[in-house]
Chain A
Amino acid sequence: MTVHVENNQEIGCFIIVATVVAQLDIILVEAKNLSLAAKNARVVAIRAGEAALGFKSITNFIDEFSTKTIQTTQEINQHSNLLFKLALEQLRASQFEHHINRAYSLNDKSHIEIKRIKNDATQIFRESLTRFNSEMQALTLQFEEIRQQMRAAEYIAVTSRVEASQAGEYCDSLESVSDYIASAALRIKSAISINLSTLSQLKRIKVSG
């Protein structure tokens, strides 16, 4: 997904944070559905008894990683307020630097106090940029963590399919659970890819800005 940020990198930060936060909903809904699918599969596996013993233990894994994904996504969601605050802080720091530079150019004598504030303004802008980048880095790592969880989910989907094939009359319903895990993991991975690509766009803005 390409976010059009035009020439204003600070407004670009807002749009990028908003785009990332919007994708979080998709991840959260899929992770919640995964958790529900794990609970349903456990009931079916109990009903299947001896024939689905292997599948039953797999449902614990599904439940575990879906819970972890929900938790990480909720953490990111709570984090979004801070990200917006930092984006605003950066916008204000940038405006401050812009107006101080203008005052500097208006003053022929390059007044010593304006020089000092000009240095302060640059420092404030750099600090706000560092804080924003550091939070974005942390966000990237959180998305990488979910991506790892989804790789595990894909592996479990394959294993569960083997176990489902041995569950006799319950084979079809357990196989459909395996299919669901695989497709949900794919959808979450796709949402994460969009977010990571959006975040990398932010890095490019910073480098060129």
Chain B
Amino acid sequence: MPLNIIVLIKVIPDLEQIKANASTGEVQTDRIPLRLETLSENAIEAAVQLREKHGGKVFGLIFGKQESAPLMKKAYAMGVDEGTVLTGYGENNPMHTAEVLCQKIRTMQFDLIISGNQSADTYTGLLPGIISSKLNINLLSNALTLSIDQATITVRSSLDRKIQNLSSQLPAIVSVTQETNQPRLPPVMQIMAAGRKQIVTEAAQVADTANVKRISNKAPKSERRKQLFEKTDEGIVAIVKAIKEEIR
């Protein structure tokens, strides 16, 4: 059965490049390059693998800002067929994000929605559940593996202390873990082809009723000594001394 799959893709600042202001400790994110969020890449890979197996179409949805739009090209290069970037993403407000995405999804035909289980920057992990409730479709979460047979999806779901084998009729929403797959590095040909593909942008139709006020956003202080040794023998002397002090 060919599948219509919607994959939810988040665009985030490159976390490794975020620096804190030396005197105030406030972190600065302006002009930090954007990238696809880690788990979103796993979600794309899972979607593309299912399409390769069953046929159909993978539709990418980003709720971001105008600047996020070019990142859809990377998703195309990884195998996403079509995509829309919804703009108007502000503060992190999962209920708003979910409502914006659901408004769009309600206009679409789909068998399956795939997302990450927890995004690498905000680490919320709420979106799959909220969307499942709002669209009234089943949630199969934290997938280690997923497979589809006719209109039934089966997932190995990784919880903290156990693994559950779950199954459900489609349509459904699946959240994937980082261990699900290794997202592909797209070949040059595909990157070039992706560059020519159209990216649709639409302004989000739902207003953000933010209920959270940010007081501060500071990097935790690191007061480490950072004493580095390239000469092993020299380093070991210092380190053995430090260890012995701690485990006395």
Do A and B form a real pair? Answer: no
Q: Which residues of B contact A (CB under 8 A)?
A: none
Q: Which residues of A contact B (CB under 8 A)?
A: none
